[in-house]
Amino acid sequence: MFQRFRRTRLNTHLRSLVRETHLSVNDFIYPLFVRSGEAIKTEVESMPGVFQMSIDEVLKECVKLKNLNIYSIILFGIPDTKDSIGSDSLCEHGIIASCIREIKNMHPDMFVVTDLCFCEYTDHGHCGIIDVENETVNNDATLEISAQQAIIHAKAGADMIAPSGMMDGIIATLREALDANGFENLPIMAYSTKFSSAYYGPFRDVAESTPSFGDRASYQMDPANRREAISESISDEAQGADILMVKPALAYLDIVREIKDNTSLPMAVYNVSGEYAMLKLAGKHNLIDYDRVVMETMISFKRAGADIIISYHAKEVAKMLKK
Ligand code: PBG
Ligand code: ZN
Q: Give the Cα separation of 285 and 270 in Å (integer).
A: 25
**Spacing, Cα 118 to ligand 2 middle (Å):** 5
Ligand whose nearest atom lies closest to the CA of 250: 1
Q: How confident is the model at residue 208 (pLDDT cuts 50, 70, 90)?
A: confident
Distances from the Cα of 70 to the Cαs of 35, 74, 163, 270, in angstroms? 22, 12, 22, 16
Q: How confident is the model at residue 209 (pLDDT cuts 50, 70, 90)?
A: confident
Distances from the Cα of 118 to the Cαs of 13, 122, 146, 180, in angstroms? 50, 6, 8, 23
Q: What is the pLDDT of residues 232-268, one digit of tens each?
A: 999 999 999 999 999 999 999 999 999 999 999 999 9
**DSSP single-letter state for residue 9:** P
Determine which residue's CA is closest to atom 10 belonging to ligand 1: 200
Determine whether 194 is an active site residue: yes
Give the nearest ligand 1 atom to 31 CA: 15
Q: Domains (ranges, CATH) in the chain?
A: 20-322 (3.20.20.70)
Contact 76, 100 (CB under 8 A): no
The answer on pLDDT for 134 being more than 80 is no
Q: How confident is the model at residue 213 (pLDDT cuts 50, 70, 90)?
A: confident
Q: What are the beta bridge partners of residue 243?
A: 189
pLDDT score for 132: 79
pLDDT greater at residue 273 or residue 205 = 273
Q: Where are the alpha helices (DSSP H) in the chain?
A: 12-17, 55-67, 95-106, 139-156, 170-180, 201-206, 226-239, 253-262, 273-284, 290-304, 314-322
**Spacing, Cα 115 to ligand 2 middle (Å):** 9
Q: Give the Cα separation of 148 and 150 in Å (integer).
A: 5
Pocket of ligand 1 (CB under 6 A): 115, 117, 119, 127, 164-165, 200, 203-204, 216, 272-273
Q: How confident is the model at residue 152 (pLDDT cuts 50, 70, 90)?
A: very high
Q: Give the Cα separation of 83 and 122 in Å (integer).
A: 5
Longest dimension (CA), the chain: 78
The answer on pLDDT for 204 being more than 90 is no
Determine which residue's CA is closest to atom 8 belonging to ligand 1: 200
Q: Which residues of 115-132 are buried (b: 16+ CB within 10 A; e: fewer)?
A: bbbbbbbbebbbbbbbee
pLDDT score for 257: 98
Q: How confident is the model at residue 270 (pLDDT cuts 50, 70, 90)?
A: very high
Q: How confident is the model at residue 145 (pLDDT cuts 50, 70, 90)?
A: very high
Q: Give the Cα separation of 261 and 258 in Å (integer).
A: 5
The 3-state DSSP class for residue 290 equals helix
Q: What is the pLDDT of residues 37-96, one digit of tens each?
A: 999 999 999 999 999 999 999 999 999 999 999 999 999 999 999 999 999 999 999 999
Q: What is the pLDDT of residues 92-132, one digit of tens each?
A: 999 999 999 999 999 999 999 999 999 999 999 999 999 87
The 3-state DSSP class for residue 44 equals strand
pLDDT score for 166: 87
Q: What is the pTM of this model?
A: 0.96
Round the CA-based radius of gyration of the chain to a whole number and report it: 20
Q: How confident is the model at residue 211 (pLDDT cuts 50, 70, 90)?
A: confident
The answer on pLDDT for 153 being more than 80 is yes
Q: What is the pLDDT of residues 79-89, one digit of tens each?
A: 999 999 999 99
**Mean pLDDT, the chain, integer:** 96
**Spacing, Cα 195 to ligand 1 middle (Å):** 10
